[in-house]
């Protein structure tokens, strides 16, 4: 399963690779990374059909995670299934949650991430 | 040269020479055709008197000429009189130390009986003795005013009481009346109303005569104030009305304005808006006719009156005007306080000189004392003791005022720091949370990997073990990196709130700019989650480290960033969805100057307020949101602390760009 992680913190990449090293070794998950909303869109235009799930931070300079989500839900009407999008934020408030859900997010997670919980959620989406 | 009103007790405005209006031309003419020094002197004294209260610079010019002529001709009494006039003018210009110097010189000359009769201005009705004593009285009267304006009230009263004796000895009716009046006002301000009333009654008794009644209206006015304080409203009103009539008759318009203003305030307190409105409008008209800019009281009375009649539009308008007027008079006060600082310093210097002179005089005088006897020594020590005490007293009051001022200033600066720290807290929390998450996550991962490492080592798989060890090492580096990151954020925050002067140290300004840009951005995000802005950084790669006080520069940058974000956020609220907020931060080296530019595409700064933005307490934010000290502190830090420059370029509706440059 191809997962795209969007976060402006570069160290998120080694962290995910280490946290999910068993799953990566067993070919359960395959991670790609983007450092901004813009970069994520470019990537999706080139490799949309492969990506099954997107994890995106909300608070990023430039295009925010919520704007990225809107683009994903409006720009890509390709054959099913549309990618699952999970939003992540350090500000776990009602307003962000409501906006994420209204714009078509599948789930909403707060930082610091609980990786065990995330693993379970990812697995339920793949089943 | 007869100036009697202690104007500082009231308001600083010209009143005295209005009756002589239209006479300057003939005086100038007289000066031109004067053939003798005596005639020239008299013409210039008349001109100086004419300008004494409203064009002080011109008056001083004439005084200096009078001084030169009097000295040339050995007219010591006229010289003392001119020195007195100069001291008086300088006092009104707030130059207290210089004023003190001139009055002391005048005092020394007029105290010497040998100088009696050395004057061109001896009336037929007086004697050389009385003439000198009268001048002496005027000088000490002015000295009393100076003591009063430097808050040295005890000394002021001592001087005035001395003046009373001198005026009586010189048969100087006008001086006697005026000094009683001023004594009354001092006691009124000390809340000793019965003494005050006794003095004012005596003053009115003396001044209530044709030829002496120029200042009678002041005495009526003060008497009215005293009765108002005693709660005898009817009598107070009678005196206010008497004062109004008298001041109009003698063209003493400042009194007219003061009386109208008091009447307006009185009727406001009595909730009689019709009368208060009438007098408030009258006050404004009189002040405007005079060209007096001190309109705060008048506007306040107007707005309170309109509020009573529920005319809220007008009330609102005049409330705004009152605030503006108060603001400008507040700034004058600040300036005067700064002069105090100087006075205190100079008084200190004078005291030191005096000490030196005293020591020198002691040794030099040993033989003279033997010859001249104990009498002179006694006299000398009394004079020294008096002078010294006088100065020490003045000095103590000034030092107390100065230290109050300094502590107020420190408190204000601290308040500004705390306000910006408050804005930052949310940003800081977010900034620390991120590295802490990494520290926790990587250390959890490492625990799992150590378990794994044990397993592969048990099997003896060296190759896998090495791979895991390399990962462990990399993760440890990440933990260390993010730990340090959190550490530097906390340190930065502590530095920001710390008081006292920091030391200059070599600093990478790109790093500081980056750090505070993030803090500022997240601070705003935390408050307003819908906010977003494009941040463009254009940092010079070849930036050398330069010596700056880090927390000070940090505060300046933070302030500029906060302002920039605030500006684009404000514009976003009014502009359409097409508007893209944008902040650009540029660093560069040019002509030996390190330059940082902070540009935002917000609403810009209107031309009308461009000059004011660096002034303390100026803010465009709603009340309670900004201290108005941010830019003013930034300006001090860059210009005074680092010898640099701050400039601003803006087009209203388009952009604002602040540029700070610091010499490398």
Of the candidate ranges B57-71, B374-388, B472-486, the one whose mean pLDDT is the lowest: B374-388
Range B232-252 average pLDDT: 88
Task: Answer yes or no: is A6 within a domain.
Answer: no
**CB-CB neighbors (< 8 A) of A87 in chain B:** none
Contact B482 A11 (CB under 8 A): yes
Query: What total of structural domains would you count in chain A?
Result: 1
CA dist B143 and B111 (Å) reads 14
Round the average pLDDT of chain B to a whole number and report it.
82
Nearest residue to B421 (alpha-carbon basis) of B509, B495, B500: B495
* B345 has a pLDDT exceeding 70: no
* B80 has a pLDDT exceeding 90: yes
* B332 has a pLDDT exceeding 60: yes
CATH number at residue A52: 3.40.50.2300
Task: Answer yes or no: is A89 within a domain.
Answer: yes
* B184 has a pLDDT exceeding 90: yes
Task: Answer yes or no: is A87 within a domain.
Answer: yes
- Asked if the C-beta of B475 comes within 8 angstroms of chain A's C-beta atoms, the answer is yes
Question: What is the ipTM score, two decimals?
Answer: 0.86
CA dist B88 and B93 (Å) reads 9
Q: Which pLDDT score is estimated for B150?
A: 77
Q: Which pLDDT score is estimated for B368?
A: 65
**HEC per residue, A9-48:** CCCHHHHHHHHCHHHHHCCCCEEEEECCHHHHHHHHHHHH
CA dist B82 and B44 (Å) reads 11
B497-545 residue pLDDT tens: 554 457 888 888 998 898 889 888 887 777 777 778 888 999 998 888 8
Which residues, at least 6 apart from B198, have a Cβ–Cβ distance to it below 8 Å?
Answer: B184
Q: Which domain, by its residues, includes A65?
A: 35-105
Contact A115 B478 (CB under 8 A): no
Q: Which pLDDT score is estimated for B447?
A: 93
- Give the single-character DSSP code of A106: S
Rg (CA), chain A: 14
Q: Which pLDDT score is estimated for B142?
A: 92
Q: Which pLDDT score is estimated for A63?
A: 85
Q: Which pLDDT score is estimated for B4?
A: 45
Please count the residues of chain B: 664
Range B390-404 average pLDDT: 80
Contact B442 A18 (CB under 8 A): yes
Backbone phi, then psi, for B649, in 5-degree steps? -130, 135
- Asked if the C-beta of A92 comes within 8 angstroms of chain B's C-beta atoms, the answer is no
Q: Which pLDDT score is estimated for B8?
A: 37
Percent of chain A's residues with pLDDT above 90: 28
Task: Answer yes or no: is A4 within a domain.
Answer: no
Q: Which pLDDT score is estimated for B7?
A: 41
Nearest residue to B144 (alpha-carbon basis) of B102, B186, B110: B186
**CB-CB neighbors (< 8 A) of A15 in chain B:** 438, 441-442, 445, 478
What dihedral angle (degrees, nearest 10) is formed by the CA atoms of B66, B70, B73, B77?
Answer: 160
- Asked if the C-beta of A95 comes within 8 angstroms of chain B's C-beta atoms, the answer is yes
Task: Answer yes or no: is A74 within a domain.
Answer: yes
Which residues, at least 6 apart from A66, have a Cβ–Cβ distance to it below 8 Å?
Answer: A58, A87, A96, A99, A100, A103
pLDDT class of B346 with cuts at 50, 70, 90: low
| Helix, strand, coil percentages, rounded to 5, for chain B | 70, 5, 20
Our CA-based measurement puts residue A61 at a distance from the nearest CA of chain B, in whole angstroms, of 6
According to DSSP, the residues that pair with B548 across neighbouring strands are B505
Task: Answer yes or no: is A39 within a domain.
Answer: yes
Query: Which of B471, B529, B530 best probes binding to A when mutated, by most A CB atoms within 10 angstroms?
Result: B529
* B336 has a pLDDT exceeding 90: no
- Provide DSSP, B462-514: HHHHHHHHHHHHHHHHHHHHHHHHHHHHHHHHHHHH--SPPPEEEE-HHHHHH
Of the candidate ranges A4-8, B199-203, B210-214, B232-236, the one whose mean pLDDT is the lowest: B210-214
Our CA-based measurement puts residue B568 at a distance from the nearest CA of chain A, in whole angstroms, of 14
Query: Which of B440, B444, B445, B479 best probes binding to A when mutated, by most A CB atoms within 10 angstroms?
Result: B445
Backbone phi, then psi, for B489, in 5-degree steps? -65, -45
CA dist B396 and B403 (Å) reads 11
Contact A90 B441 (CB under 8 A): no
Q: Is residue A64 a contact partner of residue B580, using CB atoms and an 8 Å limit?
A: no
B440-472 residue pLDDT tens: 999 999 999 999 999 999 998 899 899 999 999
């Amino acid at each position: 399963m191809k997962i795209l992680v969007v976060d402006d913190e570069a160290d998120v990449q080694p962290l995910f690779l280490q946290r999910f090293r068993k799953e990566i070794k067993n070919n359960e998950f395959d991670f790609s990374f983007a450092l901004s909303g813009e970069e994520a869109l470019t990537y999706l235009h080139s490799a949309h059909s492969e990506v099954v799930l997107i994890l995106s931070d909300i608070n990023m300079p430039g295009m925010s995670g919520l704007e990225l989500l809107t683009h994903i839900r409006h720009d890509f009407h390709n054959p099913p299934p549309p990618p699952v999008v999970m939003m992540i934020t350090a500000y776990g408030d009602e307003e962000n949650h409501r906006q994420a859900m209204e714009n078509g997010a599948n789930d909403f997670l707060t930082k610091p991430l609980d990786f065990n919980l995330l693993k379970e959620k990812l697995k339920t989406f793949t089943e | 040269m007869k100036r009697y009103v202690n104007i500082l007790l009231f308001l600083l405005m010209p009143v005295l020479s209005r009756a002589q209006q239209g006479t300057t031309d003939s005086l100038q003419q007289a000066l031109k055709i004067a053939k003798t020094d005596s005639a020239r002197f008299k013409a210039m004294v008349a001109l100086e008197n004419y300008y004494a209260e409203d064009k002080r610079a011109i008056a001083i010019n004439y005084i200096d000429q009078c001084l030169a002529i009097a000295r040339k001709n050995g007219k010591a009494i006229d010289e003392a009189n001119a020195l007195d006039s100069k001291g008086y003018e300088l006092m009104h210009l707030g130059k207290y130390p210089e004023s003190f110097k001139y009055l002391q010189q005048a005092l020394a000359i007029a105290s010497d009986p040998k100088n009696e009769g050395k004057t061109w201005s001896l009336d037929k009705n007086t004697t050389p003795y009385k003439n000198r004593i009268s001048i002496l009285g005027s000088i000490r009267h002015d000295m009393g005013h100076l003591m009063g304006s430097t808050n040295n009230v005890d000394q002021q009263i001592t001087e005035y009481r001395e003046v009373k004796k001198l005026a009586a000895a010189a048969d100087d009716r006008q001086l006697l009346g005026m000094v009683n009046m001023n004594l009354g006002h001092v006691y009124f301000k000390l809340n000793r109303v019965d003494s005050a009333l006794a003095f004012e009654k005596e003053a009115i008794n003396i001044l209530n005569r044709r030829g002496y009644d120029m200042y009678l209206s002041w005495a009526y006015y003060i008497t009215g104030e005293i009765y108002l304080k005693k709660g005898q409203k009817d009598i107070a009103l009678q005196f206010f009305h008497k004062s109004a009539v008298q001041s109009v008759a003698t063209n003493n318009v400042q009194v007219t304005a003061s009386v109208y203003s008091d009447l307006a305030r009185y009727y406001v307190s009595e909730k009689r808006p019709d009368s208060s409105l009438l007098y408030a409008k009258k006050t404004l008209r009189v002040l405007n006719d005079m060209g007096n800019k001190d309109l705060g009281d008048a506007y306040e009375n107007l707005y309170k009156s309109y509020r009573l009649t529920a005319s809220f539009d007008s009330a609102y308008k005049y409330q705004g005007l009152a605030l503006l007027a108060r603001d400008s008079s507040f700034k004058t006060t600040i300036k005067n306080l700064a002069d105090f600082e100087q006075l205190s310093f100079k008084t200190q210097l004078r005291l030191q000189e005096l000490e030196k002179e005293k020591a020198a005089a002691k040794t030099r005088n040993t033989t003279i004392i033997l010859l001249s006897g104990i009498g002179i020594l006694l006299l000398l020590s009394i004079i020294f003791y008096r002078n010294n005490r006088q100065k020490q007293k003045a000095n103590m009051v000034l030092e107390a005022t100065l230290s109050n001022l300094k502590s107020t200033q420190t408190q204000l600066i601290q308040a500004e720091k705390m306000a910006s720290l408050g804005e930052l807290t949310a940003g800081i929390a977010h900034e620390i949370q991120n590295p802490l998450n990494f520290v926790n996550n990587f250390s959890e991962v490492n625990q799992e990997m150590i378990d794994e490492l044990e397993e592969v080592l048990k099997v003896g798989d060296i190759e896998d073990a090495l791979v895991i060890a390399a990962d462990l090492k990399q993760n440890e580096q990440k933990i260390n990196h993010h730990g340090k990151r959190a550490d530097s954020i906390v340190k930065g925050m502590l530095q920001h709130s710390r008081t006292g002067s920091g030391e200059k140290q070599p600093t990478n300004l790109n790093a500081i700019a980056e750090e505070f840009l993030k803090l500022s951005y997240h601070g705003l995000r935390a408050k307003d989650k819908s906010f977003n802005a494009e941040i463009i950084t254009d940092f010079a790669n070849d930036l050398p480290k330069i010596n700056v006080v880090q927390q000070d520069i940090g505060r300046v940058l933070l302030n500029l960033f906060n302002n920039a974000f605030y500006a684009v956020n404000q514009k976003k609220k009014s502009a359409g969805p097409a508007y893209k907020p944008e902040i650009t931060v540029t660093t560069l080296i040019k002509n030996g100057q390190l330059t940082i530019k902070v540009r935002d595409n917000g609403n810009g700064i209107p031309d009308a307020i461009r000059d004011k933005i660096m002034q303390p307490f100026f803010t465009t934010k709603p009340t309670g949101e900004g201290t108005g000290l941010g830019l003013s502190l930034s300006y001090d830090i860059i210009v005074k602390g680092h010898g640099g420059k701050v400039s601003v370029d803006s087009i209203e509706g388009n952009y604002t760009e602040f540029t700070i440059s610091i010499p490398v």
